[in-house]
Structure 1
Amino acid sequence: MQNNKQMVLPKGVDQSQFQQALTQFQTLLGKENVLLESAQIQPYTKIMMSVSEEAHTPSAVLSATTVEQVQQIVKICNEYKIPIWTISTGRNFGYGSAAPGQRGQVVLDLKKMNKILHVDPDLCTALVEPGVTYQQLYDYLEDNNIPLMLSFSAPSAIAGPLGNTMDRGVGYTPYGEHFMMQCGMELVLADGQVLRTGMGSVPGDKAWQVFKWGYGPTLDGMFTQANYGICTKMGFWLMPKPPVYKPFEIKFEQEADIADIVEMIRPLRIAQVIPNSVVIANILWEAATCNTRRSDYLSEPGATPDSVLKQIQKDKNLGAWNVYAALYGTQEQVDVNWKIVQEAVKKMGKGTLVTQEEAGDTQPFKYRAELMSGVPNLQEFGLYNWRGGGGSMWFAPVSQARGSECDKQKTLAKTILNKHGLDYVGEFIVGWRDMHHVIDVLYDRSNPQETARADACFNELLDEFEKEGYAVYRVNTRFQERVAQSYGTVKRQVEHAIKRALDPNNILAPGKSGIDLNNPF
């Protein structure tokens, strides 16, 4: 056990109380599943945010393997007022990793709950536990010759569908809006009761994974990006593999082309000519994923000049913007839609179409094609090599799918990032009518001055985008309280009222999405 003088204690819990709770946890889970030593806890302190690891150091880590254990854990937590921070795989690196949201919280790690409970090849549904990874589910489908396709974020192989969906992540296939494709949750509430949403509360019901709504209020969304319950099972829909899959890229030479690109893509997306979540990635995003390092071109600190960006674009045979999309269906469907896409690009008078036959196995086309066809990979981790130093924070505002809006957001973001000596590394993900604008604020976390600049930069991004009426849809744990403020007091009053009703002892992930009964707003 940790030296008592070194032990980080949960907020409001004294050492004697915590030791009693730990004894009960060890009796319940076995000592091997209650991690207390510094070396054991250290992997759960790894963060990429602009704050010290001490701010996100857990007091202990618990590993549960059954729903019944999770129920008993929350009962012990209620008895001693122990706050727990639940993770599934803990692989959301740009949003906080496996570290708890607040110092001293106990991490509840569910990665050992990793059973694929059911896959229905006829109804195209799956039911999984929190620890199931996309790679594990992909391998299961392949090994059993089940012709279904996954959708996931990138990099995907080590992340999991339950955790990603609970945080409302997105992917790159026609099923890329992951929460929309979720159907049925099982949740352990703060008092230890088990709730099944949708049709799941009816004993023996067979429609849990096919009918989302059930009867009465639909509750699933309330538990996403929240701290009202611990999700122990999730159902979701899978896409049948199409007979024909045609990925393609459109390269654009000028940064100013973004407005025209979006105006061309939007009607094709809304009409479902292009059925998947289209990506519009900038030069640095694509260059970095192919392991291009800033040090290959520059030694001095600061923002990368546009002249260097143009040189990288030329050297790596990339566009200033690189658009990735795909067509799915029968050969007849794909042929018709491909003609429509070709005509749309021709009408623009700019943009170079690249097919899979032309690109071959070259990167980044290869990994993009894999993402759009549901094949997991880890290619996008190359982003972290651009500057090095382990600093990464996702800034993810949403806008309408309008060219003028995207151009405005890109210009504003680049100006702020460059002001703080950092680079605009971004992509737009085109939903049906919205744009998820994902920017990776990359910096050298080993450099205190650059870390301070990154922190100031992220704060300014939030402030200036809010002034223009833009807000983010996800954020790392460093800035969750700040983002909650953007959404106003009425929303927060409702969220805290639900928290008081379901979790009066405030034991489930205090601070998640700014919901914390200990911190009035």
Structure 2
Amino acid sequence: MSDQEFVALPEGVTAENFAKAVAEFQAVLGAENVLTTEERLQPYFKTMMPVDDNDYRMSAVVQATTVEQVQAVVKICNEYNVPVWTVSTGRNFGYGTYGVSKRGTVVLDLKHMNKIISVDRDLGTALLEPGVTYQQLFDYLQENDLPFYLSCPAPSAIAGPVGNTMDRGVGYTPYGEHFMMQCGMEVVLANGEVLRTGMGGVEGSTSWQVFKWGYGPYLDGIFTQSNYGICTKMGIWLMPKPPVYKPFGIIYDHDDDIQEIVDLLRPLRLSNTIPNAIVYANTMYEAAGIISRTKYYDGDGFTPPEVLQEIREKEGLGAWNVYAALYGTQEQVDVNWNIVKSVVEKHGKGRLITEEEHGGTQPFQYRADLMRGYMTMQEFGLYRWRNDRGQGGGSMWFAPVTVAKGSETIDQTKLATEILNKYGFDYVGEYIVGMRDMHHIIDVLYDKSSEEETKRAYDCFKELIEKFAEKGYAVYRVNNAFMDQVADTYGEAQRNINRTLKRALDPKGILAPGKSGIDI
């Protein structure tokens, strides 16, 4: 094949050598699982980043179904110096979608490696391949009458536990810190070797999914958000289904209430009275899930304050909408509910809402479903907020992490709003409070069908990273277009140690070059 017959070529790889690599991929995987034409690659091209998608085109997509095939793909890539970017279910919308880090990289798509290898009813563990989706696992639990909740991100159904955990994503149940609930990985290294972490390296071990640490250095962490290996199996822990589940919300009417309510509820989270992550979602975050902005405002720039107030009044939303849940026996839930009620009522500002009153209404029902691991796609409504005409579809998650203190929310909300409004965008945000940390999730929504607006979105996101870092606020995940900028905020020492590990484990740099700012 000539270079004109490929949609892109990896940097430094000739068309002749790439054609040889493609032929070897086909021999291993079958021609139907090696995609190289414009037509077959089209579903993989679109990203939601504010970039020219042409700059992030892959040269091919290869679809493996076994660990042995993954090993073979890696060996071929080593032979021809072809870089390879791995995806599992592949739809990581706010963090890059299928987009590779460098034009011409091959995408290794593991969606067909979708076996639920085992689920232990007694111990609440599961061993999964990377292509398993949350919907698939949810259905499996239901069909086999297994008494467990899933903890999933939002939107959940088409995402996968392995991919989400590898990027250190979070969920909304008491098991919402997903990497904490991971136990054991099988990883294909850059040289084609297979590593089983923790107890998995012991022949015949029965404790691979129950004891995280094994012997010697703990390795699982270095494979998350990195490019040191390809995860082909992962163990996770499942939350036992409680006898009683009680979701609730609290509505607050004023923007500045956020400072008080984070401090008000933090002791309940620290004491595990509220055992799951508490979500504090602003008006626009909740509104975007159920309506488009054009219902109230079709002008340019950010939404005016008076329109925002109209949305609150007519859609029944607060300036801040708080969601959490109680889990356990009836006695436990009753005691903890009385504690929650007492704290909120004594404060005197928030209005408590429960499933008895608001079940079936949105957005309460969506949040209630999410906190018990039900499958939902509602959060895709965010993508029609700026443009409900079926065009555009620009989104970037900006996710700085800080301490769970109210004072931080005032500073971060003000700074984010100023920067977003400066570029004509809305502050669409929520705070998710873990035990002591606070994830500030902001969706930078824009119309990608507008070249001018796309340029503004890029500049806006760049400034968000810069200005937040100046105040000590760094993000914990980011899309492919900004990985180097974020890596720089963590300091040269961390970048150097990451490079050292990369050179040791992947001396040719073939695995996901540039992932998290890590290169050789």
Superposition TM-score tier, normalisation by shorter sequence: over 0.9
Residue 354 of structure 2 corresponds to: 355
Residue 47 of structure 1 corresponds to: 47
Residue 200 of structure 1 corresponds to: 200
Residue 103 of structure 2 corresponds to: 103
Residues 254 and 320 in structure 1, CA contact (< 8 A), matched pair in contact too = yes
One-letter amino acid matched to 1:300: G
Report the TM-score when normalising by structure 2: 0.98
Secondary structure (helix, strand or coil) at the match of 1:304 reads: coil
Residue 267 of structure 2 corresponds to: 267
Report the TM-score when normalising by structure 1: 0.98
Residue 133 of structure 1 corresponds to: 133
Closer, same or farther: CA 279–2 of 1 in aligned 2, 3 Å: farther
* Counterpart Cα distance in 2 of 1:56 and 1:2: 21
Closer, same or farther: CA 3–505 of 1 in aligned 2, 3 Å: closer
Mean CA deviation greater in 296-305 or 328-337? 296-305
* Counterpart Cα distance in 2 of 1:391 and 1:464: 22
CA deviation map 1:159-190 (0-9, x unaligned): 00000000000000000000000000000000
Secondary structure (helix, strand or coil) at the match of 2:130 reads: coil
Residue 312 of structure 1 corresponds to: 311
Residue 446 of structure 1 corresponds to: 449
Residue 228 of structure 1 corresponds to: 228
Question: Mapping of 1:463-478 within 5 angstroms?
Answer: 463-478=466-481
Residue 502 of structure 1 corresponds to: 505
Secondary structure (helix, strand or coil) at the match of 1:440 reads: strand
Residues 281 and 321 in structure 2, CA contact (< 8 A), matched pair in contact too = yes
1:407 Cα deviation after fit: 1.3
1:6 Cα deviation after fit: 4.9
One-letter amino acid matched to 1:311: E
One-letter amino acid matched to 1:105: T
Secondary structure (helix, strand or coil) at the match of 2:4 reads: coil
Residues 2 and 36 in structure 1, CA contact (< 8 A), matched pair in contact too = no
Residues 2 and 15 in structure 2, CA contact (< 8 A), matched pair in contact too = no
Residues 185 and 233 in structure 1, CA contact (< 8 A), matched pair in contact too = yes
* Counterpart Cα distance in 2 of 1:427 and 1:41: 35
One-letter amino acid matched to 2:239: M
1:2 Cα deviation after fit: 8.5
CA deviation map 1:281-316 (0-9, x unaligned): 0000101101x1122222221011111100001110
Residue 25 of structure 2 corresponds to: 25
Secondary structure (helix, strand or coil) at the match of 1:179 reads: coil
Question: Mapping of 1:2-41 within 5 angstroms?
Answer: 4-41=4-41
1:4 Cα deviation after fit: 2.7
Residues 2 and 37 in structure 1, CA contact (< 8 A), matched pair in contact too = no
* Counterpart Cα distance in 1 of 2:262 and 2:48: 31
Residue 513 of structure 1 corresponds to: 516
Question: Mapping of 1:4-403 within 5 angstroms?
Answer: 4-290=4-290, 292-388=291-387, 389-403=392-406
* Counterpart Cα distance in 2 of 1:323 and 1:90: 30
One-letter amino acid matched to 1:370: D
CA deviation map 1:8-60 (0-9, x unaligned): 10011011110111110011110000001101111111100010111110000
Residues 141 and 147 in structure 2, CA contact (< 8 A), matched pair in contact too = yes
* Counterpart Cα distance in 2 of 1:482 and 1:184: 31
1:265 Cα deviation after fit: 1.4
Secondary structure (helix, strand or coil) at the match of 1:183 reads: strand
Residues 6 and 59 in structure 2, CA contact (< 8 A), matched pair in contact too = no
**Which stretches of structure 1, 4 residues or more, deviate above 4 A after TM superposition?**
none
* Counterpart Cα distance in 2 of 1:220 and 1:5: 40
CA deviation map 1:121-140 (0-9, x unaligned): 11000000000000000000
Over the aligned positions, Cα root-mean-square deviation in angstroms equals: 0.9
Pairing partner for 2:440 from 434, 437, 440: 437
CA deviation map 1:386-414 (0-9, x unaligned): 00220000000001000000111111101
One-letter amino acid matched to 2:266: R
One-letter amino acid matched to 2:73: I
Residues 6 and 37 in structure 2, CA contact (< 8 A), matched pair in contact too = no
- Does residue 493 (structure 1) correspond to residue 496 (structure 2)? The answer is yes
Residues 2 and 38 in structure 1, CA contact (< 8 A), matched pair in contact too = no
CA deviation map 1:489-514 (0-9, x unaligned): 10011000000000001000001000
* Counterpart Cα distance in 2 of 1:275 and 1:163: 25
1:5 Cα deviation after fit: 4.9
* Counterpart Cα distance in 2 of 1:61 and 1:481: 25
Residues 2 and 16 in structure 2, CA contact (< 8 A), matched pair in contact too = no
* Counterpart Cα distance in 1 of 2:251 and 2:55: 43
One-letter amino acid matched to 1:503: D
Residue 411 of structure 1 corresponds to: 414
Mean CA deviation greater in 2-11 or 219-228? 2-11
* Counterpart Cα distance in 1 of 2:80 and 2:6: 20
One-letter amino acid matched to 2:475: V
Secondary structure (helix, strand or coil) at the match of 1:255 reads: coil
One-letter amino acid matched to 1:168: R
* Counterpart Cα distance in 1 of 2:4 and 2:138: 44
* Counterpart Cα distance in 2 of 1:324 and 1:180: 22
* Counterpart Cα distance in 2 of 1:207 and 1:420: 53
CA deviation map 1:238-293 (0-9, x unaligned): 00000000000000001110001100111110100000011110000101101x11
CA deviation map 1:104-134 (0-9, x unaligned): 0000000000000000011000000000000
Secondary structure (helix, strand or coil) at the match of 1:4 reads: helix
* Counterpart Cα distance in 2 of 1:235 and 1:407: 39
Residues 285 and 427 in structure 1, CA contact (< 8 A), matched pair in contact too = yes
One-letter amino acid matched to 2:135: Q
Mean CA deviation greater in 132-141 or 379-388? 379-388
* Counterpart Cα distance in 2 of 1:233 and 1:367: 31
CA deviation map 1:168-219 (0-9, x unaligned): 0000000000000000000000000000111000000000000000000000
Residues 247 and 369 in structure 1, CA contact (< 8 A), matched pair in contact too = yes
Mean CA deviation greater in 14-23 or 298-307? 298-307
